[in-house]
Amino acid sequence: MLKLPRFSGAFVLGVFCCSIVYGQTPEATPYSIDNCIKVKEGKGAEYAAQLKEVAKLYKVRVEDGSVQIAVIAQGVSPAGRAARCDYHIYSIYTGFPPETSGPEKVAADMKKAGIAMSREAMIAKRDELSYLVSTDVWRGWERIGRSEKGNYARINYFKVKTGMGGDWLRAERAGWKQLAEENAKQNPGAGWRLSTLTMPGGTSLAYNAMTIDIFPNWEALGKGTPTRAIWNKVHPEQDYSAYMDRVGGMADRPRTDVVKLIEVFQK
């Protein structure tokens, strides 16, 4: 059974960063664990300070290779009580994530990171300030561009209809991928990710797949992507509206969130 931690090296976005090799073998397949964190009422400033200690731990995990990439993202929209997650803490791996590190490994990592408090004290502080909303495990399929600290990400959650998973993936990879590649060429810092949900599962879930649009800064997020112009360049033989209708028939998009990447650790 895979145990999914909050402050050990076990999430996201593999969805935000581009230095993973997207191979065909299970060992080379990128996976990410997304811990969705909600901060308790009135504890925002204190949690933000505590998160700096958490970042030190993830930096050590990336440096020793137990995590390939770590990302901490802060929710931008929705915000406040309407937000499901105030923060996302992502751990990204090449291959299926390992089990949770034991207390000895965590304590050793904390010492290496220069964190003065004990593991037990850190957990107690975490639980005083926040709670875990959910943990998702994602499989990455495509990534365009490279993510950096300070980027904004628009997370598009999809509910792909039963029996249409393969068709939806093929449509994204043969349609939107080429648009994203050209957008990254025209607009440095732009990027795109395509992932499907591995765990949890079941038809009752609100979403089972996602795409992520990466923007280098707030201004670029506001401008958006010149979708029509780029589409006509990369797919001159394919009508954009017809493509969108076809993809829309395979999946609904129940939610779109915007986050800011406040920490990105990668070798």
> Average pLDDT in the 210-238 region?
97
Residue 45 and residue 124 in one domain:
yes
Output the pLDDT for position 103. 87
Residue 158 and residue 245 in one domain:
yes
Residue 158 and residue 251 in one domain:
yes
Amino acid at 206: A
Residue 133 and residue 34 in one domain:
yes
Residue 111 and residue 154 in one domain:
no
Query: Does residue 2 carry a pLDDT above 80?
Result: no
CATH number of the structural domain spanning residue 134: 3.30.70.100
User: Considering the domain boundaries, does residue 194 fall inside one?
Assistant: yes
99 band by pLDDT with thresholds 50, 70 and 90: confident
Look at the chain and report how many structural domains it folds into.
2
Main-chain phi, psi angles of 208, to 5 degrees: -145, 5
Q: What separation in angstroms does the CA of 237 have from each of 152, 176, 181, 212? A: 32, 14, 18, 26
Output the pLDDT for position 100. 77
Query: Does residue 7 carry a pLDDT above 60?
Result: no
User: Considering the domain boundaries, does residue 2 fall inside one?
Assistant: no
Dist. CA 257–CA 240, nearest whole Å: 24
> Average pLDDT in the 242-256 region?
97
User: Considering the domain boundaries, does residue 19 fall inside one?
Assistant: no
User: Considering the domain boundaries, does residue 91 fall inside one?
Assistant: yes
Domain range for 192: 150-258
Residue 87 and residue 179 in one domain:
no
Q: Which of 210, 235, 213 is nearest to 36 (CA)?
A: 210
> Average pLDDT in the 222-243 region?
96
150 band by pLDDT with thresholds 50, 70 and 90: very high
Residue 31 and residue 134 in one domain:
yes
Q: Which of 202, 201, 206, 179 is nearest to 190 (CA)?
A: 179
More confident call, 60 vs 16: 60
> Average pLDDT in the 74-83 region?
96
Output the pLDDT for position 25. 57
